[in-house]
Amino acid sequence: MPDLLADLNPPQRAAVTWPTRHALILAGAGSGKTRVLTTRIAWLLSTGQVGPQAILAVTFTNKAAREMQSRLAAMVPVNVRGMWIGTFHGLCNRLLRAHHREAGLPAQFQILDIADQLSSIKRLAKNLAFDDQKFPPQDLLHFINANKERGLRAAQIDAYDSLTRRRVEFYAEYERQCQREGVVDFAELLLRCFELLQRNQPLREHYQARFRHILVDEFQDTNRLQYDWLKLLAGHGEPPREPGACLFAVGDDDQSIYAFRGADPGNMGDLQREFVIEEVIRLEQNYRSHGNILDAANVLIRWNPRRLGKNLWTAEGAGEPIRVFEGYSDLDEARFIVEEMTELIDDGVPPTQIALLYRSNAQSRVLEHELVRVGLPYRIYGGLRFYDRQEIKHALAYLRLLANPDDDTAFARVVNFPTRGIGVRSIDALQESARRLNTSLYNAAASLTGKPGTALARFVRLIETLRADTERLPLPEIVDHVIEGCGLRQHYLTEKDGPDRLANLDELLNAATVFTEEYASAVYDAALPVDGGPLAAFLAHASLESGERQAGEGQEAVQLMTVHAAKGLEFDVVFIGGLEQGLFPHENAASERDGLEEERRLMYVAITRARRRLYLSHAQTRLLHGQTRYGLRSSFLDELPKTLLRQLNPAVANVAAFARSDHRVAALARGSAPSDPGSAIADGLCVGQRVRHTRFGDGVIVAGEGNGREARVLVNFDRPVGEKWLLLEYARLLPL
């Protein structure tokens, strides 16, 4: 017994030995919440207060459940495999298996994962003749799951317009199809289990009497139905019965970052009020980060008005100040980050202890480019490298067909994406015809007749039209035209995760814009084809970047990830990039209820991933949609105490401020003060001068940097071209 409590601090010990009544444990980042939760179970078992069968422990991931079981097995001599420790879905599945008849399910009911559920919805939509343009399958899936997670069946939804009525009708038909086939989706597991316990009083009372202690991890991530399920099992609102269940909830409202999944941090306040919890135990001692990092996180999160409130502290000392870097461009920012990473590794920091966090997946492209350039191995945690993402591979496949129509791999990938009614049988027939004729799939398409032949002919005409329309366009315009013309952009507009995929497609356009400048400067001449022009060279470049430097299993590499993916992780050194208004905080935060508060919690999570050293960076200009955009630094930077920050480079003039004033923009060089408008750059050119470019037309030089062969200028071309950086050696600008 003493060994269980020996190394616990006073608040941890108070939580572990809490009396037999409801409890809310406010556990800050790095405060040892998993240890407290596991030790609480071990304490209950070791003191003989309950047996293993009387404990229900709920987690959010299978990984967390396995870790809890592993730790518990090392602490007490109990067979943990028989205990009810698992995720919400896993525990509901277990309960439904035991009571399938009462739940109206076959004994061997099957569970649909998200991919299977989407396939089932597509099949039903086709049978019901639902227009997939008006009612995209992904949208129907989201509608069904969102309502199930709110505890609503089709008959309970208020259909306030014709579109909603049609979705409700589809939801009802989907329920009947699943019941007929004996299958349930993930959202159904929880809803069906909740309904079973709600209507079946003897069964409900059986489990209420069995589970005397209900322990919940990451309580801030619960949605409304999950909270209601817990209340039901705890007997909340029912006449008290002995011995009664105690709810022990561990969470951190400051780390609630999953509103898009339905998580409601307000559940913590509701729990405190509804279960009459008079004393909240706060775990505030942090065992992860140095003091300056924690002080910054504490000050930032205090800007959120509705909090239960806590203040993280550490016995480790203040540590280093937080480093802040301001670049002129996203490329400048990426180069700085990669240079710092290289120096850190040279100084002995393991690459696996260096993490780069960003708000949006699309930001990884320019960072990956720099990592590849310097040959530094990296790993995308919880996601795919930029050129491996589905939407990027689709777009590149269309571009490959423009460059080489005999590319069968590219043809097969996009011939029916977006869907064109070209099924598996049609593809099989096409492949057989291609083998017989000893030609490519593209050429063999003309050999098929009937409905398959008509559909394939339309696809071939689409490719030929795209090739003709883009024949004389510069590379960025080719990419933009193809993404639009092939239907990819329209397709992803209707998907739940469409905004992220569209952002990645826009980033592909940015990649093409940057590549055009670098290709023009002959940077890639030694490695890439020249016969096919910039398009062939760009496709080869994309393939090379896709095939290199992603670390293999067991290889040490720096870690790249979104802030959401970083939840629960920690690193010695953390970089947080792209700290600009509209990027982090995200532009959607301004239009969403409590959006800015959630973004601030996300920043809080990002900061508290760092143990020893933290970098914050932002850029004055960023390439978006193929054009340079001026941005303002994130408001989160202004919310941090200046005494905790160290500016790594002297503040440079804000490009946007000059650009809004008759193009009076100074030439900028790293770390140097700006020159006055009208100052010379090179070749008789100066800031504020109008120039002409053979491809982009007329514009005004608004900035310049570099020397010799590295000298380049930022030209604000007349609409619709906008701002572009050009290398002077190859731009051949004509003064006007």
Residues that are catalytic: 33-34, 217-218, 255, 609
Instruction: Find the Cα–Cα–Cα–Cα dihedral 693, 695, 700, 701, rounded to 10°.
Output: -70
Token digits of residue 613: 């050293």
Residue 125's identity, in one-letter code, is: A
Residue with tokens 């919400």: 88
Of 303, 377, 340, 392, the closest CA to residue 637 belongs to 303
Peptide bond into 735 cis (omega under 30): no
Q: Reduced to 3 states, what is the DSSP secondary structure of residue 560?
A: strand
How many alpha carbons fall within 13 Å on the CB side of residue 565? 17
Question: CA separation (Å) from 389 to 116, 418, 498, 505, 556?
Answer: 21, 16, 13, 10, 23
Rounded CA-CA distance 217/252 in Å is: 10
- Per DSSP, 697 falls in state E
Q: Is the CB of residue 80 less than 8 Å from the CB of residue 67? A: no
Rounded CA-CA distance 309/24 in Å is: 13
- Per DSSP, 550 falls in state B
Tell me the β-bridge partners of 575: 356, 615
Radius of gyration of the chain (CA): 29
Rounded CA-CA distance 182/185 in Å is: 11
Q: Reduced to 3 states, what is the DSSP secondary structure of residue 247?
A: strand
- The secondary structure of 94-131 as a DSSP string is HHHHHTHHHHT--TT-EEE-HHHHHHHHHHHHHHTT--
Token digits of residue 468: 């003709």
Q: Is the CB of residue 222 less than 8 Å from the CB of residue 253? A: no
Of 250, 316, 308, the closest CA to residue 610 belongs to 316
Token digits of residue 370: 């720099």
Rounded CA-CA distance 481/595 in Å is: 34
Contacts of 2 (CB under 8 A, 6+ apart): none
Strand order through the sheet with 712-717: 722-727, 712-717, 697-705, 690-693, 734-735
DSSP alpha helices (H): ranges in 354-403? 364-374, 390-403
Q: Is the CB of residue 390 less than 8 Å from the CB of residue 501? A: yes
Token digits of residue 324: 């802040």
Tell me the β-bridge partners of 243: none
Rounded CA-CA distance 311/285 in Å is: 9
The beta strand positions in 495-644, using DSSP E, are 558-562, 571-576, 610-624, 627-630
Biggest distance spanned by C-alpha atoms of the chain: 91
Instruction: Find the Cα–Cα–Cα–Cα dihedral 444, 450, 455, 461, rounded to 10°.
Output: 60
Q: Is the CB of residue 556 less than 8 Å from the CB of residue 352? A: yes
Terminal-to-terminal C-alpha distance of the chain: 86
Query: What is the number of other CB atoms lying within 10 angstroms of the CB of residue 116?
Result: 13
- The secondary structure of 19-70 as a DSSP string is -SS-EEEEE-TTS-HHHHHHHHHHHHHHTTSS-GGGEEEEESSHHHHHHHHH
Contacts of 226 (CB under 8 A, 6+ apart): 88, 190
